[in-house]
Structure formats: C-alpha cells, structure tokens
Amino acid sequence: MNFEIESANPVVRSVIEGKAPRPAQVAAARGILPLPHADLLEILVAFAGSDDPELAAHARETLASQEPTILTGSVKSEEVAVSVLDYFARQDGISREVHESILINTRTPSDSLVAFARGTTSAELLEMLSLNQQLLIKTPAIIDAIVQNPHRSSEAERRAAETKREFFEKERGQQQIASELRAQGNEAAAEFIEQGDFESDDDALFFAQHIVVPDAETDDSWMGLEYIEELYEETPEERQAIVDKIVGEFRFEEMDRLDERISVINRIMKMGMKDRVKMAIKGDREARNILIRDPNRIVAQAVVANPRITEQEVEKIASMRTVTEDILRQIANNRQWNRSYPVMHNLAKNPRTPMANVLTILARLQLRDLAALSKNRNVSDAVRRQALRLSQARTGK
C-alpha cells in the first residue's frame, strides 16, 4: 500500500503495512482498536483508500460516524497527519466546525484546499476561505475554484476576483507591457512599468509615454523612497487640492492645450508619492513641467535632479514664484546651473529666492541688470539696496 505514514507509533505502521494480525486490522477499521485518536484517524484514512474491500468499507463507515467535537479537536492539532486533513477537506456534509478547523490548520495541503473550494456547498466557508488573501496569493488555483463554485456568495466572489485582479492579472499585464516596451528599445519606460503600481494597464501605458530616463542615469539614493509614502501620506482631499493648484497655475500662465493638460495632470496626480517622485526624476519635459509645481518639495526636488532637464527649463523654474525656496536654493547651489547667467539672473529677480543666494548672485550680474534690479519693486528692499550699491560702485558714484 503506497501511503506515507507520519505517526511514530509502531503499532500504526504495523497495522497500515499489513504486518499486524488480521483481527487487529479489522478492529482498527471498525474504530475499536485502543489507540490515540490521531493515530486511529491516520489508520482509518489509509484503510479508506485500501484495495481491501472489507477494511475500506469498515474504515469509511467509521470515519463517517466520527463525533464532531472530538474530530474538530483532532484536525485542529499540529500533529494530525496530513493525509487526515486531506481526507476530510474533500468530504462534504460533515460539520462546519471540522471544516473551519481544517481551513485554518497550516498543515492542510494546498491541493486539499483547492478541492474543498471546488466541491463544498457552504457559502459561509467559501467566504471564510476568500478572506485569507495570503493563501489565495500563494495558491491562485483556490481563487478559480471559489469563483467557479456555484454555491459561492457574492462577497466570496468579490474578494477572490479582487485578489486575482490585484496580484495576478495586473502583474501579468504590466509585465507584458514592459516586455513590449523593451522590445521597442524603450528601456527607461520598461523599467518604470516593472517597478510601478498602476490601477490599470491603460494607466501603465499612459505613464510609460512620459518616461525617458533609464535607471542607469539616475541617482535617487538621497530620496529614501521606501519611506516616502509613510512620511507624506496624502488624503484624497489633499490630492485634489494639488490638482486644483497645478491646474490654476497653468490656466493663469498659458491657455494652449489646457484641456489636454488637465487630463494629464489628473492622471499623474492619481499616482502615489513614491511613483510621482520616480516620474519626476525619470519623466519627459511634459511630466517635469507638471511635477515641478507639486507643492511637495521632494517631488519638485526630483524634477530638478532629472538628468534630462534642460537649461531652458531650469531658467523657467528659476523665475517661478510658485516653487518653494528649497528648489530655488537647490538650483542656485548647483554647479552646472551656477554657470548659466540667465538662470542666475532669474533667481536674482525672483522674490522667493533665499536672500543668502541672491546676495552672492548680485556680484556676478552685469551693470544694466543691477541697475534694473535696483528699481524692481517685486524684490525686497535689501536686494534693491545691494543692487544699487554694486551698480554705483562699478560706475564710480
């Protein structure tokens, strides 16, 4: 008999292997051999699948007559044989308590749970099984068994379908998109899709169109991405406020393509903080133009750190009065942008640029720009006075 024996009791092995006297085997099959209940159950399950008609018939009858309370206690045990758990998982019509104990026993084989989900007539137990998302992820065949069972409840079906969509269909879809992008030579977008978490394949494709910077070109070690979502958790109301702010800025600054841009803004702002930061540091000009306006300084800092950002873009950012002081300071202290006269000139004219940076920049400005700045009412009195002193010093006044 091909049966894996788990019990350490030599009597159990002797009876199952047929080495014990016939009367002892029959007594065991009828449930009257004096053994611990767990050992007796293992023998009965072995005999129930036996080629010996007498032993099989007695064993099945004995198993069917088990007292539910005692049986529940046995199948809850971590010492019960796996074969016993498998046998009762496949039996419909036994008490709910027994099946509940089998479902929560970590020793119950996955195949047994799939068979249970496929064959049970209990909507309540299917619902209980659907609540164990970790189990469904580990054994996706259980999901299909729940969905295909005609006795499932709407709640069990919903939970199983959500788990399948979230952990399997979406993953496969995103992986397929990433493979297609890589085949087209778009390595940057493929990497972004593989690392992101998107609500749909449509979103994944949309965001991929805006990614131009591959991982090899980026340095995001300063951002601590694994903690961003925890530190900057946003409510739906806060997310909508950000959308309204950005849309308002575009409406004020430029009217062309406004409707199309609003659609892009809304979709980008559906992303969590971590993915917005990734898009900021890897995105194209359109994505950068939107995300530099994100009031969260981590996102805006990632835009300025984007290796594909151009001098013209930085020049424009340096003149924006909606960006934070941190961003303007970051530009002023950057060696690359520090060499650009238009960038430095715009920073000097921007009233939000930190005073320490402005005073350093003034010494580098041309005379005509110093003279204009000394009369500019949009900057602080201190900046105007310093610009006037420098211009007078150069003209000998």
Q: Which residues contact 186 (CB under 8 A, 6 or more apart)?
A: 208, 211
pLDDT at residue number 60:
96
- What letters, b where the CB count within 10 A reaches 16 and e where it falls short, cover 84-122? bbbbbbeeeebeeebbbbbbebebbeeebbbbbbeebeb
Least-confidence region, from 101-110, 207-216, 233-242: 233-242
pLDDT at residue number 17:
93
Q: What are phi and psi of 283, to 5 degrees?
A: -80, 170
pLDDT of 243-259, one tens digit each? Answer: 888 888 887 776 566 77
pLDDT of 131-141, one tens digit each? Answer: 998 899 889 99
Tokens representing residue 72 in the block: 């529940």
Asked if 148 contacts 120 with a C-beta cutoff of 8 angstroms, the reply is no
pLDDT at residue number 220:
67
pLDDT of 55-105, one tens digit each? Answer: 999 999 999 999 999 999 999 998 899 999 999 999 988 999 999 999 999
The DSSP call for residue 165 is I
Q: Over 70: is that where the pLDDT of 390 sits?
A: yes
Confidence grade of residue 221 (pLDDT, cut at 50, 70, 90): low
pLDDT of 272-331, one tens digit each? Answer: 888 888 899 999 999 999 999 998 888 899 999 999 999 999 999 999 998 989 999 999
Q: Model's pTM, two decimal places?
A: 0.56
Asked if 66 contacts 80 with a C-beta cutoff of 8 angstroms, the reply is no
Confidence grade of residue 224 (pLDDT, cut at 50, 70, 90): low
